[in-house]
Every structure is written in structure tokens, then in C-alpha cells.
Amino acid sequence: MSRIYLDHAATTPMVPEAVEAMTRELTRVGNASSLHASGRSARRVVEESREAIAAFVGAQPAEVIFTGGGTEADNLAIKGGFWTGLKSRRQRVVTSTIEHHAVLDSVGWLTQAASAEVSYVPVTEDGRLDMSALAGTVDSDTALVSVMWANNEVGTLQPVRRIAESAAEHGAISHSDAVQAVGHVEVNFATSGLDLMSFTAHKLGGPYGIGALLVRRELTLAPVLHGGGQERDIRSGTLDVAAIAGFAAALEAATRHRVAEEQRVRRLRHELVNSVLAAVPDAIPYGPGAEADRLPAIASIGFPGCSADSILMLLDAAGIDCSTGAACSAGVAQPSHVLLAMGCSEAEARSTLRFSLGHTSSIADVRALATALPNAAHRAKAAAAFA
């Protein structure tokens, strides 16, 4: 049975261009750091990919630091940015309450291991950063300000440019986790004013295990992984040539199709939310109402009186993949910190599912969801009494 895949924000299928580019490189030998001809040809693939990726996100090639994915890019940004700031006696890290755990847990670790002071800036009901609270928090002790470009659970876009300005006013380094944004909405590193930006290949049609941190050219970032110093001495480790080629090919394809695809997916998401509300009238969509304030593909929807876990299981059995958006910490699913930060109760957070669309999604997927949902929600509500 073919699956209805509504979890593109977790990962999205590789596009044919990326598969082709990657398989072409997989069979070739050559360490990109080697001096011989095989090494040089690998290096050439890496550098051409770097140049392509840089161009697609409005960065200079030298600003692209390849990492093992989004989590590593976030870790490098947070830990490296903090250590850099510490050299000028700045100890504060400012972030939001709705970041990905790659950011939140890195920041949390800094408070324990490196006596960082952390300020968490709250968000509004639709997940947008409270800008006046940010302005009152960033100061001359601030080493780093990190706020995501777009939220992975509810899809809220943040005013990244104003956040970067706010950091720059006080001489702090700015970072944004743009993992959910790149390839899906317009992202330009140069005009954003950011110092650091993370993104990853597998969220935009590329392979797993390869990502990048953009590091503004003038910035000296303390490394987290030490060794061969392959990436500007900021990141060490033999480069994954095939994955890098796949990353560039995927971003090239995403950029080429973006404007049309963004519109198509926005319409599809609109259709999805309306169909879900028609199928389950008491369902509650979360996140911003205005299209300009949100990602095209993510729909966060609460089903009052139901456990999201139960609906997920029943949809799974009906051939539909979706997500609770909740982090699985210590083996037991926790209510989403994002929804709690937006003012939801624990019960509301535990009743919320995330449906996310992508390049393979069609109206047939939306219809299949609308067909399966009433029964799933009905059963889940009955089961909630025994949760």
C-alpha cells in the first residue's frame, strides 16, 4: 500500500536531481583534502557545490561551512558563537522559547558547563517573537542572539532582519536556525544581516547527514570539532563529497521551482486546513493566520478531547503519516514546548498534530486525510477517557 506522507517537515523525499548528483559521486574515489588528481577532482565538486549553495542563499562561497546536518550547524553556531563572545567578556545568550532542541539544549548545556547566562524571549499566541521583550533583553553583555527563521511545529516566520539589527546594535553575534525555511521561502543571508545561519539538505530534497552553517566572512568562530581544519578551521572532518553534491543539486532544484511550488503548497495547505475543519468541526488550527507570517507547508491542528498519539496511531493504520510534533524526551513523549510557549494548556498541546506538505504532496493526499480523520478523531476521543 502506498503511504500518504504528510510529514515533510521531518524529512522530505530526495529529488531526482539530488539522487543523480549523489550517485555520480558515490562511485568516485578522492579525499577533497588530498593533493593528487583524485583529491583535486573531489575538491572541485565540493567547491562548485559550495559556490552554487552560496549563490542560492545570498552568501559568499567562503561563508559556507559544511556540517553533518542542522543539529551540528546549530551546535557550532551556539557554542562557537558563545566562546567567541566570551573573549570579549560577553556571557549572555538570548534565544526564544520555541527553538528546536538543537538550539535549546545547546544553550542549556552552556549554562551548566560554561556559566552562560541565558534569557528566553517569549512569543505571542501565534508564535511570533515578542520584539519589545527582545529589545529589553539584548545588552552589551550579550554574546549571541539566536532565533529561528521559521518554526518547525507551527510554521511561524520570525522578523529575522529586525532581530539581527537588534543584536548588531549591541555588538552581539546573531544566529538563525533556518532549517525549515531554506528552499521553501525566500531566504537571503546577505540582506538578513545575520552573522550565522543553519540549514540542512534533507529538508529540501537532498540527502541526510549534510548541512551547512553560514558564517559571515569577517567573523572568527570558535570551532567545536577539532582536527584537520577542513572548513576554514571552523569545522574539521573529511568532507562527504557525494552528499555535498546532492545538497547542491537539491537546493538548485528547490530554488528553480520555489516561487511556483511555494504558491502551490500554500494553496494545498489552505485546502488541508479547510478539509480538516470540515471533517472535524471542533479542530483548532494553530500558528499565524496571515500567509505572509507563515511557512507554506506546515499545518498545526489541535483536536480537543483527543490524544494526538491516538489519532497518529489510527491514521498510521489507515496509511497516513503525520507527526505529534512533540519531542520524545526520556522515552515518554512530552507536550510540545512550542505550543506551551504560545499559551496552550498541556491538554491542548497533547491533542495537537502536525501535518506538513512537500514536493510530492497532492490534493489526493489531503482528501485521504479528510476521509480518514472523522473516524480516527471519534475513536481517539472515546479512548481519551482511558489515557
Which residues are marked as active site?
328
180 or 324, CB closer to other proteins? 324
Cβ-proximal residues to 118 (8 Å cutoff; 6+ apart), any chain: 92, 93, 94, 95, 107, 108, 110, 111
Q: What minimum distance in Å lies between the beta carbon of 326 and other proteins?
A: 11
> Count of CB atoms within 10 A of residue 223's CB?
18
Q: Give the nearest distance from C-beta 314 to other proteins in angstroms.
A: 7
Radius of gyration of the chain (CA): 21
Nearer to other proteins, 10 or 19 (CB): 10
113 near other proteins (CB under 8 A)? no
1 touches other proteins (CB under 8 A): no
The reply on whether position 364 binds other proteins by CB under 8 A is no
Return the residue of 309, 327, 340, 347 that touches other proteins, per CB under 8 A. Answer: 309
Q: Which residue has the cell 511561524?
A: 156
Burial of 227 (0-12, 13-18, 19+ CB in 10 A): exposed
Please say whether the beta carbons of 76 and 213 come within 8 A.
yes
Q: Residue 291: beta bridge partners?
A: none
Task: Quote the least distance from Cβ 197 to other proteins, whole Å.
Answer: 33
Candidate list 37, 113, 330, 364; residue touching other proteins; CB under 8 A:
330
219 binds other proteins (CB under 8 A): no
> Per-residue x/- marks for other proteins, 260-279, CB under 8 A?
--------------------
Interaction between residue 37 and other proteins (CB under 8 A)? no
C-alpha cell read off for 314: 489510527
Positions of E strands within the chain: 4-5, 64-67, 92-96, 117-121, 142-146, 173-177, 196-200, 211-215, 284-286, 298-302, 320-321, 328-329, 332-333, 352-356
Task: Candidates 317, 319, 345, 362: give the one binding other proteins (CB under 8 A).
Answer: 317
Residues forming the site for other proteins (CB under 8 A)? 309-310, 313-314, 316-317, 328, 330-333, 379-380, 382-383, 385-387
